[in-house]
């Protein structure tokens, strides 16, 4: 192995890469967010936008991200610099700072799932369904999640300690395990009385919502997040691929695995909802659906309730862990490529910034938000930051990526490079998809987002106000804007360390 290979790392096998990439894609997004979105946007009404998002946006952008990593053999900012110049690097760093923010609160959400896992064998189901909501509220408002934040950061560091080697090993254990657990849950869900009703609701096409813009926006953001696009993760992972890899087929396979898992998760969730007539109202937040409503259904299972509740939360934790390591690997590889620091030093730096960040989101109740037990300080901050770091950044990065690669690097050049080692070949239609169709579609979604913002700045609507802290939504926005735009310009300007070894993974 050349020094370059040992410095950046290389996947042990094709299977290892597919498992790691699908471990990244399959996560909280597939269970927590998909279930909530599909329900909120009306079951069958969600599928048309979902499939359009998959074929028009998801798979093509996955091919671009895999292709960028494989051909440039660098992390996202360094790949963008090499392919498209300093402007590209700037957006690369911008996305990496957003990735770090998302990684911070993603781990906090995992800590809530881990706390609930612990409670599954204690007070969670003591009084059946009645104790689930109060236990969740009490857990969020306690310091237990903070303790789990520390444990989960420790696990992330262990799984990332030897780069591809440890990431691959983690994926090889956890990814098959999460499929098994999900299949157990879906079989149990479908065998419940009326379980199939939920499946009909989920799969009966419904064109009512097709003109509703928010359904499209929901499906597009969901797709980006679910496929781990727009944060540089897939670029980092594919930069560890051997040069001859077939990334077009791999992109199809990873997308297929991800969406299949999402479908199965949807079936499990909807069968439980309908079997026990749990129809969450509009006030049930995204997290409430998975962390409260589903366990409430499990509490009514005829037998082994604690076992199924434990299995469900354990599934969330392992699916989330294989994703959180990928979110962190993106900035880790970016810093390593820029400064040529050893992995241990970069891991320490990321943990030093990220762990306190996750702890902030785990803060229990400190603000009085009118007696809502689940509205803790941490969750309030998470909600405000998520609106910017997730709601905007993935789509903005997708847009700039499509434009830079489409017009700057030249998508036909990338397409030819990828076709040369691929079983499936992309035709010239792909060029127009990346150069024109995707930028137009994402721009329309973004413009509507911004227009919505003008009416009411996020977090300041009457229902969201809280005494004396009306400035908080603005403060979070300003903090986010300075951290991401300021941080990205500084990092772009810093001199690149000599690219020793970066380019040598040629095999
Ligand atoms: N795809 C992951 C999920 O569905 O939970 C989340 C994620 C991981 C998003 C990595 C973005 C990313 F880069």
* pLDDT tens-digit series, residues 266-321: 999 999 999 998 887 766 778 888 899 999 999 999 989 999 999 999 999 999 99
> What's the confidence (pLDDT) of residue 18?
97
Best of 66, 316, 322, 327 for a ligand 1 pocket test (most atoms within 8 Å of beta carbon): 327
> What's the confidence (pLDDT) of residue 504?
42
Q: Which residue has the tokens 């909802």?
A: 273
Best of 225, 226, 259 for a ligand 1 pocket test (most atoms within 8 Å of beta carbon): 225
Q: Is the CB of 30 under 6 A from ligand 1?
A: yes
Dump the DSSP string for 52-106: HIIIIIIHHHHHHHHHHHHHH-S-HHHHHHHHH-HHHHHHHHHHHHHHHHHHHHH
Whose Cα sits closest to atom 11 in ligand 1? 228
Q: Is the CB of 24 under 6 A from ligand 1?
A: yes
Q: Is residue 261, in this structure, part of any structural domain at all?
A: yes
CA distances from 335 to 390, 408, 494 (A): 21, 24, 11
Give 250's pLDDT tier (boundaries 50, 70, 90). very high
Q: How far is the CA of 402 from the centre of ligand 1 (A)?
A: 19
Q: Please, where are the H alpha helices in 191-278?
A: 195-203, 213-226, 233-238, 247-275
Q: Is residue 88, in this structure, part of any structural domain at all?
A: yes
Q: Which segment of 167-171, 180-184, 373-377 scores lowest on mean pLDDT? A: 373-377
Q: Is residue 251, in this structure, part of any structural domain at all?
A: yes
Q: Is residue 466, in this structure, part of any structural domain at all?
A: yes
- Separation between Cα atoms, residue 315 and residue 179, nearest integer Å: 9
> What's the confidence (pLDDT) of residue 507?
36
Q: Is residue 340, in this structure, part of any structural domain at all?
A: no
Whose Cα sits closest to atom 4 in ligand 1? 29
What DSSP state is assigned to residue 154?
A: H
Indicate if the pLDDT at residue 43 is higher than 90: no
CA distances from 173 to 23, 26, 322, 494 (A): 10, 14, 10, 39
Indicate if the pLDDT at residue 197 is higher than 60: yes
Whose Cα sits closest to atom 9 in ligand 1? 228
Average pLDDT over residues 30-42: 86
Whose Cα sits closest to atom 13 in ligand 1? 228
Contact between residue 483 and residue 391 where contact means Cβ atoms under 8 Å apart: no
> What's the confidence (pLDDT) of residue 375?
74
> What's the confidence (pLDDT) of residue 282?
66
Q: Is the CB of 331 under 6 A from ligand 1?
A: no
Give 209's pLDDT tier (boundaries 50, 70, 90). confident
Q: Is the CB of 326 under 6 A from ligand 1?
A: yes
- Separation between Cα atoms, residue 98 and residue 104, nearest integer Å: 10
Q: Is residue 339, in this structure, part of any structural domain at all?
A: no
Secondary element (H or E) of residue 313: helix 305-339
Nearest to 36 by CA among 304, 371, 409, 285: 285
Whose Cα sits closest to atom 10 in ligand 1? 228
Structural domain span for residue 314: 12-329+354-506
Q: How far is the CA of 27 from the centre of ligand 1 (A)?
A: 6
Which tokens go with 10?
């290389």
Give 468's pLDDT tier (boundaries 50, 70, 90). low
Average pLDDT over residues 145-172: 97
Average pLDDT, the chain: 90
Q: Is the CB of 321 under 6 A from ligand 1?
A: no
Q: How far is the CA of 148 from the centre of ligand 1 (A)?
A: 20
Residues 6+ apart with CB under 8 A from 217: 445, 448, 449
Q: Is residue 6, in this structure, part of any structural domain at all?
A: no
What CATH number does residue 398 fall under? 1.20.1740
pLDDT tens digit string along 60-71? 999 999 999 999
Q: Is residue 338, in this structure, part of any structural domain at all?
A: no
Average pLDDT over residues 174-191: 96
Best of 25, 58, 317 for a ligand 1 pocket test (most atoms within 8 Å of beta carbon): 25
Indicate if the pLDDT at residue 344 is higher than 50: yes
Average pLDDT over residues 451-480: 77
Chain Cα centroid distance, residue 400: 19
Residue 216, SS3 per DSSP: helix
Number of domains in the chain: 1
Q: How far is the CA of 30 from the centre of ligand 1 (A)?
A: 9
Q: How far is the CA of 418 from the centre of ligand 1 (A)?
A: 24
Share of the chain above pLDDT 90, in %: 66
Q: How far is the CA of 130 from the centre of ligand 1 (A)?
A: 32
Side-chain half-sphere CA neighbours of 208 within 13 A:
7
């Amino acid at each position: 192995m050349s020094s370059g290979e040992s410095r950046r790392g290389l996947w042990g096998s094709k299977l290892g890469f597919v498992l790691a990439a699908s471990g990244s894609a399959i996560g909280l997004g597939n269970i927590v967010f998909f279930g909530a979105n599909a329900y909120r946007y009306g079951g069958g009404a969600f599928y048309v936008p979902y499939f359009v998002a998959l074929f028009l946006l998801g798979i093509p952008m996955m091919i671009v991200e895999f292709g960028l990593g494989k051909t440039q053999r660098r992390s996202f900012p360094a790949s963008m610099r090499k392919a498209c110049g300093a402007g590209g690097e700037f957006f690369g760093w911008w996305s990496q700072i957003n990735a770090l923010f998302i990684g911070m609160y993603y781990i906090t959400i995992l800590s809530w799932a881990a706390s609930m896992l612990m409670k599954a064998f204690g007070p969670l189901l003591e009084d059946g369904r009645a104790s689930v909501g109060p236990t969740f509220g009490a857990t969020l408002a306690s310091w237990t999640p903070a303790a789990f934040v520390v444990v989960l950061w420790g696990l992330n560091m262990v799984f990332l300690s030897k780069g591809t080697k440890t990431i691959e090993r983690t994926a090889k254990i956890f990814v098959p395990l999460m499929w098994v657990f999900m299949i157990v849950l879906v079989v149990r869900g479908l065998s419940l009385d009326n379980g199939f009703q939920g499946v009909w609701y989920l799969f009966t096409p419904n064109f009512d919502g097709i003109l509703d813009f928010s359904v499209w926006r929901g499906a597009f953001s969901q797709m980006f997040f679910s496929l781990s696009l727009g944060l540089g993760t897939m670029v980092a992972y594919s930069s560890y691929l051997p040069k001859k890899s077939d990334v077009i087929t791999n992109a199809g396979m990873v997308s297929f695995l991800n969406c299949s898992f999402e479908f199965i998760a949807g079936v499990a969730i909807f069968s439980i909802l309908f079997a026990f007539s749990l129809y969450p109202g509009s006030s049930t937040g995204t997290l409430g659906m998975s962390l409260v409503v589903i366990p409430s259904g499990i509490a009514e299972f005829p037998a082994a309730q604690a076992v199924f509740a434990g299995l469900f939360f354990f599934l969330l934790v392992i699916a989330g862990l294989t994703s959180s390591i990928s979110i962190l690997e993106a900035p880790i590889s970016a810093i390593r490529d820029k400064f040529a620091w050893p992995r241990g030093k970069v891991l320490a730096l990321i943990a030093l910034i990220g762990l306190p960040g996750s702890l902030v989101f785990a803060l229990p109740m400190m603000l009085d938000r009118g007696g809502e037990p689940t509205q803790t300080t941490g969750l309030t901050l998470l909600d405000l930051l998520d609106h910017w770091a997730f709601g905007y950044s993935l789509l903005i990065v997708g847009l700039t990526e499509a434009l830079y690669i489409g017009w700057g690097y030249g998508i036909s050049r990338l397409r030819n490079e990828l076709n040369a080692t691929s079983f499936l070949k992309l035709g010239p239609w792909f060029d127009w998809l990346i150069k024109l169709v995707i930028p137009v579609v994402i721009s329309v979604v973004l413009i509507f987002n911004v227009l919505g913002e003008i009416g009411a700045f996020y977090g300041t609507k009457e229902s969201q106000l809280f005494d004396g802290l009306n400035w908080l939504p603005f403060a979070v926005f300003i903090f986010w804007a300075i951290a991401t735009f300021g941080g990205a310009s500084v990092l772009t300007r810093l001199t690149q360390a000599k690219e020793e070894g970066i380019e040598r993974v040629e095999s």
